[in-house]
């Protein structure tokens, strides 16, 4: 007899379908529900296909939600019949959102006797089930520990990042923001190369050399943000600003969209105005905080 928890998955988009496949592969008894029945059809014979979200919740102690956004999740879950079915069970919200969304979901659940965890998957669906796949959870630690071995099926690098329910979403937004910023920056770099007929293959090959530099800079920023002391001996913000000015100028000369380097330059200039010209690049943090206040 299997001691593995039964698991329900609500939402069979690209991510939800990958989650369902991972649990089926790991030998769990799985129930699935999706608004459009066509996405549930491939699971016939491998999983129990629920007719309603309430039925999906009532089939398992643990229900995982993977929908487009919180609006969709609220439409599906915030009904008396679903709340009744989920009572005394655990909902794990893997729909992406803000810390405020997570707090709203937890407040709704706590009033109804539903255990609630908010989580974020930092990976594409094809990496679900991987040993290194990072998944963050926040909410009551005892709820997390109750289901930890089941949640680890999604990704080996699963961790509980804090009791405040918004912690996972805060971390997810911070890391995704870094990811999108970096992606836009290397696509801009590719556009610069294309404008000079420099091989994109060669660019992407050399791009790997910037990855350790970014990592070293992040470590340096971590130390400097902890102390508030931005003095160093690597590269002044004045010199970094010169480099960004070249990138703005080249973008302009070659008709490449220059909004991204101009934006970077605007933050650097703000940090210079705050007197950080002789400091390391980490001092730009003060310009970001300052901008958000003003
Ligand atoms: P997706 O392929 O677009 O699937 C969206 C799912 O939401 C579908 O099951 C869709 O149902 C359902 N849905 C949308 N509106 C609905 C509503 N009003 N009522 C009921 N169901 C509704 O998206 P995905 O890539 O699976 O993403 C799902 C979640 O995972 C998102 O929050 C996303 O941010 C997160 N995520 C995704 C990735 C990724 O790489 N894909 C990575 C990390 C996190 P229908 O089939 O009926 O339209």
1 domain-assigned = no
Name the residue of 9, 11, 82, 157 to mutate for ligand 1: max ligand atoms within 8 A of Cβ.
11
User: What burial class does residue 169 get, using C-beta atoms within 10 Å of its C-beta: 0-12 exposed, 13-18 middle, 19+ buried?
Assistant: buried
Same domain, 147 and 204: no
Q: Is the beta carbon of 179 within 6 A of some atom in ligand 1?
A: no
Same domain, 32 and 86: yes
The token duo for 36 is 């459009």
Same domain, 112 and 209: no
pLDDT in tens, 111-162: 999 999 999 999 999 999 999 999 999 999 999 999 999 999 999 999 999 9
Q: Which domain does 60 fall in, by range?
A: 7-163
Give yes or no for a contact between 289 and 271, defined as CB atoms under 8 angstroms apart. Answer: no
171 domain-assigned = no
pLDDT in tens, 243-285: 999 999 999 999 999 999 999 999 999 999 999 999 999 999 9
Whole-number Å distance, alpha carbon 67 to ligand 1 midpoint, is 4
What is the number of other CB atoms lying within 10 angstroms of the CB of residue 68? Answer: 12
Please check the confidence at residue 26 and state whether its pLDDT lies above 80.
yes
Please check the confidence at residue 293 and state whether its pLDDT lies above 80.
no
**Residue 294 pLDDT level (bands cut at 50, 70, 90):** very low
How many helical (H) and strand (E) elements, i.e. helices and strands, does the chain have?
Answer: 12, 8
For residue 268, the domain's CATH number is: 1.10.1040.10
Average pLDDT, the chain: 96
Please check the confidence at residue 105 and state whether its pLDDT lies above 90.
yes
Of the candidates 38, 39, 37, 30, which has an alpha carbon nearest to the alpha carbon of residue 12? 39
Please check the confidence at residue 1 and state whether its pLDDT lies above 70.
no
- State how many domains the chain has: 2
Please check the confidence at residue 35 and state whether its pLDDT lies above 50.
yes
The token duo for 186 is 């290397």
pLDDT in tens, 166-176: 999 999 999 99
- pLDDT number for residue 291: 56
The token duo for 1 is 């007899």
Give yes or no for a contact between 15 and 94, defined as CB atoms under 8 angstroms apart. Answer: yes
Same domain, 119 and 235: no
β-strand partners of 118: 93, 138
Q: Is the beta carbon of 117 within 6 A of some atom in ligand 1?
A: no
264 domain-assigned = yes
What pTM was estimated for this model as a whole? 0.92
Give the domain-ending residue among 110, 143, 163. 163
Which atom from ligand 1 is nearest to the alpha carbon of 12? 9
Q: Is the beta carbon of 34 within 6 A of some atom in ligand 1?
A: yes
Beta-carbon contacts of 82 under 8 Å, excluding residues fewer than 6 positions away, are: 53, 54, 57, 76
Same domain, 233 and 144: no
What is the number of other CB atoms lying within 10 angstroms of the CB of residue 202? Answer: 10
Of the candidates 132, 131, 163, 127, which has an alpha carbon nearest to the alpha carbon of residue 145? 163
Atom 34, ligand 1: which residue's CA is nearest? 96
Same domain, 112 and 219: no
Specify whether the backbone of 32 is left (phi greater than 0), alpha (psi in -120 to 50) or beta.
Answer: beta
Atom 20, ligand 1: which residue's CA is nearest? 35
18 domain-assigned = yes
- pLDDT number for residue 3: 81
Same domain, 158 and 280: no
pLDDT in tens, 202-246: 999 998 888 899 999 999 999 999 999 999 999 999 999 999 999
Atom 18, ligand 1: which residue's CA is nearest? 72
Give the domain-ending residue among 147, 163, 179. 163
Owner of token pair 């340096």 = 220
Give the domain-ending residue among 107, 138, 163. 163
184 domain-assigned = no
As a whole number of angstroms, the distance between CA 1 and CA 40 comes to: 27
Same domain, 36 and 127: yes
For residue 141, the domain's CATH number is: 3.40.50.720
């Amino acid at each position: 007899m299997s001691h593995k928890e039964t698991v329900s998955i609500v939402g069979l988009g690209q991510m939800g379908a990958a989650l369902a496949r991972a649990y089926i592969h790991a030998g769990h008894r799985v129930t699935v529900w999706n608004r459009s029945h066509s996405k549930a059809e491939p699971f016939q014979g491998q999983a129990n296909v629920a007719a309603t979200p309430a039925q999906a919740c009532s089939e398992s102690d643990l229900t995982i939600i993977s929908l487009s956004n919180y609006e969709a999740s609220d439409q599906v879950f915030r009904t008396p019949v679903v709340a009744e079915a989920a009572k005394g069970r655990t909902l794990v919200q893997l729909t992406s959102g803000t810390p405020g969304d997570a707090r709203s979901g937890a407040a709704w659940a706590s009033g109804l006797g539903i255990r609630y965890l908010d989580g974020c998957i930092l990976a594409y669906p094809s990496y679900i089930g991987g040993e290194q796949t990072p998944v963050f959870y926040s909410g009551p630690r005892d709820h997390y520990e109750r289901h930890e071995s089941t949640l680890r099926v999604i990704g080996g690098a699963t961790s509980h990042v804090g009791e405040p329910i918004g912690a996972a979403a805060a971390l997810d937004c911070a890391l995704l923001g870094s990811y999108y910023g970096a992606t836009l920056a290397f696509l801009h770099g590719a556009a610069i190369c294309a404008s000079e007929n420099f091989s994109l293959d060669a660019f992407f090959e050399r791009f790997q050399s910037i990855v350790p530099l970014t990592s070293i800079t992040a470590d340096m920023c971590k130390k400097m943000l902890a102390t508030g002391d931005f003095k160093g001996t690597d590269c002044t913000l004045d010199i970094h600003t010169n480099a960004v000015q070249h990138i703005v100028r080249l973008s302009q000369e070659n008709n490449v969209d220059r909004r991204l380097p101009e934006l970077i330059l605007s933050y650097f200039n703000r940090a210079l105005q705050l007197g950080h010209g002789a400091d390391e690049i980490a001092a730009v943090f003060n310009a970001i905080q300052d901008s958000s206040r003003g």
